[in-house]
Amino acid sequence: MATKVHMEALSPTMEEGQLVKWLKGEGDEVSSGDVLAEIETDKATMELVARGDGVLRAILLAEGGTAAVGEVIGVIAGADEDISALVGEGGGSGGGGAADDAADAPAAEKDDADADPVADEAASAPSEAAAPSSDEAASTEPSGRVKASPLARRLAEDTGVDLASIEGSGPGGRIVKRDVEAARSAPAAAPAPAASKSAPAPADWSDAGAQESYDEVPVSQMRKAIARRLTESISPVPHFFLTVDVDMTRAVAARKQVNALVEAEGDRVSFNDFVLKAAAAALVRHPDCNAAWHGDHIKRFHHVHMGVAVAIDDGLITPVVKHADRKGLVQISREVKEMAGRARQKRLKPDEYTGATFSVSNLGAFGIHEFTAIINPPEAGILAVGRIEDTPVAIGGEVVVRPRMRITMSCDHRVIDGAQGARFLQTLQAMLEEPAAILV
């Protein structure tokens, strides 16, 4: 019996996936549990496994294409089984797999009121098509709409190709799939020719040689998730912000001492590890900040799962150090390094980047003095940590230079009031200014 291969929800927040690579090809025998493909979710690259036995008869989503969760992207069936009814269920954008070209494209062509009945993009050679017209109107419908097949329009939309810039090679100058593909692979347009002698350049030296240009960067699944999640946060979540200035003199000394003890074993803790450990300990004392908004109730956690923002090539992700309040500096440091490495390879498992009860974002390594972070709902708070800077301060009536660090807490006012957030930050500040207090 045939088995549909669906785009599965491979992360808790996944709504669509991008097919990175098929690990099985059409005609390959597969067994239930075999890895069929690699799928880029909104957080990581995951494996899609077969849910049935047989032969991978049809691939309905090409590599690089996207499909919503639940859409059919392939068919597993017996070698001689009729799958024609299932192949028609394939979907996704940026597809163009074998079945897509052979089955979907002709069907789509028939739906186009202006379609040429003999047009078949997959089969017709350029020489068989009508010669492109030099008359621009020949590739434009009376309404001014560029003539293009539905498949070409979909491919152009997915890849950011401007149909108006393409000369169609189909009947009547119609743009077909091969024209869009050729436009995608064509080298960048040559610089515009110099103005003719009869039209001298305007004598505005400020614009001399300047050209307007831009790149259109496809939006990855992760970037879509970031946009959706942070919009969901900043719109309905009533943020307010609290900032403290922390004297890091003793934390600097403590880090030096700790590293002197552990470097022989290959470990080295960072200032961010100190912040994570101190924040986890402070949250235990202030459970009203270790909480989440759930509409009709507030959940206050008895454990501290600390999310750590990690920048990766096309976005960011927050691996979670679970039970951070019960772990030592070295263990926290090891877990952060290990998960950050796999996060950059998009190899984190869903339970490694979900379930945080509070988060920390640190841009100090980028030279950022101070910033604010957007809460990752349903969490109620996040810390934004800046760089440590030598700063002149007045102590005992004298101006001295001390290493200082700004920490700004973003609070969900539905969960945390100003005084609650301030008390938490006071405790965190005290722990960082006297690291021994973390142990008390």
Q: Which residues participate in catalysis according to the annotation?
A: 413
Q: Exposure pattern of 276-299 as b/e (b: 16+ CB <10 Å)?
A: bbbbbbbbeebebbbbbbeeeebe
Question: What's the CA gap between 309 and 320, in Å, rounded?
Answer: 9
Question: Which residue's entry shows tokens 């200035």?
Answer: 245
Six token digits for residue 377: 């709902």
Question: Which residue's entry shows tokens 């990690």?
Answer: 310
Six token digits for residue 27: 């005609």
Looking at the chain, how many residues does it have?
A: 440
Backbone angles phi, psi at 73, to 5 degrees: -120, 0
Closest CA to 423 of 290, 275, 251, 252: 290
Q: Contact at 8 Å (CB) between 162 and 121?
A: no
Which CA distances in Å does 9 have to 24, 65, 67, 376?
A: 20, 16, 11, 21
Question: Cis omega before residue 378 (within 30°)?
Answer: yes
DSSP lists the bridge partners of residue 6 as 72
Closest CA to 63 of 22, 24, 98: 22
Question: What's the CA gap between 317 and 44, in Å, rounded?
Answer: 9
Question: Which residue's entry shows tokens 């017209």?
Answer: 133
* Three-point CA angle 126, 130, 136, nearest 5°: 110
Residue 103 CB burial class (10 angstroms; 0-12, 13-18, ≥19): middle
Backbone angles phi, psi at 405, to 5 degrees: -140, 130
Residue 172 CB burial class (10 angstroms; 0-12, 13-18, ≥19): middle
Closest CA to 165 of 189, 141, 130, 144: 189
Backbone angles phi, psi at 72, to 5 degrees: -80, 125
Closest CA to 97 of 16, 26, 23: 26
